[in-house]
């Protein structure tokens, strides 16, 4: 399945040329028109009350996107939750739990301890629980029911939805969109011809847009120009993915960055944007950087582990650096020292205070 996804991705991106890719592009374009019509009809039916949308007796903040893949939703949820936790508000997080092996609604973190392993929790919910000690994390397709459980168990004042922009079943007080500035507009087509989940025009329905990885973007002016035409009234905040710590896998200890500057590095990741992860590693000034990329949410087999170790030996890597998301799945690597790079979404300038103020105004909260 991974190879099929990579093949289709190479066609969508235009990397693969030839007669067959051209034919498939045409077929994909037709399918994307159906997807566009379907998503517009769905939003129209919700907006006119033909499908009911439920409201929780607490404030709801959604963090989502319109482009598939790693736009920085989960790091944004972590950053926004950390901003909110400095208040007296009781916060919980609800996630769909993509690729979770749990059925129904399950609690990943109950405000005291992590209750599910990464397989049962899903990659992102486990990462949220790991980074937000004391904040309950619930997974399940029905975020309304998840919210009711959070209110009943922990007296939740604010429910933060991870990946909630398309979850129209639940009314939100704030809709925040994250947009990867290195690939912002999804090739202007919906899946499967492009990377959009729905039309870019829906950005007008957002309350704020967070541009991520702006330090890796070379066309920021163009992004602002397009957003000014698409969603001129929506405030925009800039952010970067900044390294926050480097953790030695076998000891779980934080290590100094300068200890590994100038090393030969093998960067291994199963995320949506492996090139961005590799660019982030430039702060270590590696003498050599090799990339070994797997599909997003990849479940590493023993064969994968062996291939990673062989690649590290072949490229004479001093260390292997992996993402936090992949860390629980790659603990068995032994041939070369493994380090986990933890990153944080860092809002630039006064964006943290401005975003917190916006949330306070939209939710009618008095903490700002």
Model confidence band, residue 366 (pLDDT cutoffs 50, 70, 90): low
Q: Which whole number is the average pLDDT over 88-99? A: 92
Neighbours of 223 (CB within 10 A): 18
pLDDT digits (tens, 9 = 90+) for 285-338: 999 999 999 988 899 999 999 999 999 999 999 999 999 999 999 999 998 999
pLDDT digits (tens, 9 = 90+) for 103-134: 899 999 998 899 999 889 999 999 999 999 99
pLDDT digits (tens, 9 = 90+) for 166-189: 999 999 999 999 999 999 999 999
What pLDDT is recorded for position 102? 87
Model confidence band, residue 32 (pLDDT cutoffs 50, 70, 90): very high
Question: Strands 264-269, 288-293: parallel, antiparallel or unpaired by DSSP?
Answer: parallel
**What share of the chain has pLDDT > 90, as a percent?**
83
What pLDDT is recorded for position 272? 87
Cα separation of 2 and 323, whole Å? Answer: 19
Cα separation of 318 and 225, whole Å? Answer: 44
Cα separation of 329 and 309, whole Å? Answer: 14
pTM above 0.75, yes or no: yes
Is the bond preceding residue 287 a cis peptide, omega within 30 degrees?
Answer: no
72 close to 239: Cβ distance less than 8 angstroms = yes
């Amino acid at each position: 399945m991974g190879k099929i996804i990579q093949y289709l991705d190479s066609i969508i991106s235009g990397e693969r040329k030839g007669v067959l890719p051209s034919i498939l592009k045409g077929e994909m374009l037709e399918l994307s028109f159906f997807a566009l019509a379907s998503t517009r009809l769905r939003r129209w039916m919700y907006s006119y009350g033909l499908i009911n949308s439920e409201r929780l007796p607490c404030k709801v903040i959604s963090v989502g996107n319109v482009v598939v893949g790693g736009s920085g939703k989960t790091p944004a949820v972590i950053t926004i939750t950390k901003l909110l936790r400095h208040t007296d508000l009781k916060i919980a997080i609800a996630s769909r739990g993509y690729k979770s092996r749990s059925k129904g609604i399950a609690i990943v973190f109950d405000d005291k301890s992590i209750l599910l392993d990464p397989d049962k929790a899903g990659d992102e919910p486990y990462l949220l629980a790991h980074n937000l000690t004391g904040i309950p994390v619930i997974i399940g397709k029905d975020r309304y029911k998840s919210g009711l459980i959070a209110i009943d168990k922990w007296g939740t004042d604010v429910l933060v939805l991870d990946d909630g922009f398309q979850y129209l079943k639940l009314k939100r007080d704030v809709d925040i969109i994250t947009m990867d500035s290195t690939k912002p507009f999804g090739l202007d087509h919906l899946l499967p011809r492009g990377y959009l989940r729905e039309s870019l025009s829906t950005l007008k329905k957002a309350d704020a847009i967070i541009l991520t990885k702006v330090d890796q973007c070379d066309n920021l002016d163009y992004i602002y120009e397009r957003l000014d035409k698409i969603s001129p009234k929506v405030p925009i905040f800039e952010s970067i993915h900044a390294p926050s710590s480097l953790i030695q896998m076998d000891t779980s200890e934080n290590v100094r960055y300068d200890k590994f500057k100038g090393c030969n590095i093998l960067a291994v990741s199963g995320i949506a944007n492996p090139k961005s992860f590799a660019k982030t590693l430039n702060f270590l000034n590696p003498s050599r950087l090799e990339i070994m990329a797997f599909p997003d949410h990849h479940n590493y087999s023993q064969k994968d582990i062996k291939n990673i170790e062989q690649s590290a030996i072949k490229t004479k890597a001093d260390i292997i650096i992996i993402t936090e998301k992949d860390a629980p799945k790659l603990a068995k690597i032994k041939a070369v020292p493994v380090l986990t790079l933890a990153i944080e979404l860092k809002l630039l300038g006064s964006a943290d205070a401005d975003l917190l103020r916006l949330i306070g105004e939209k939710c009618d909260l008095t903490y700002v």
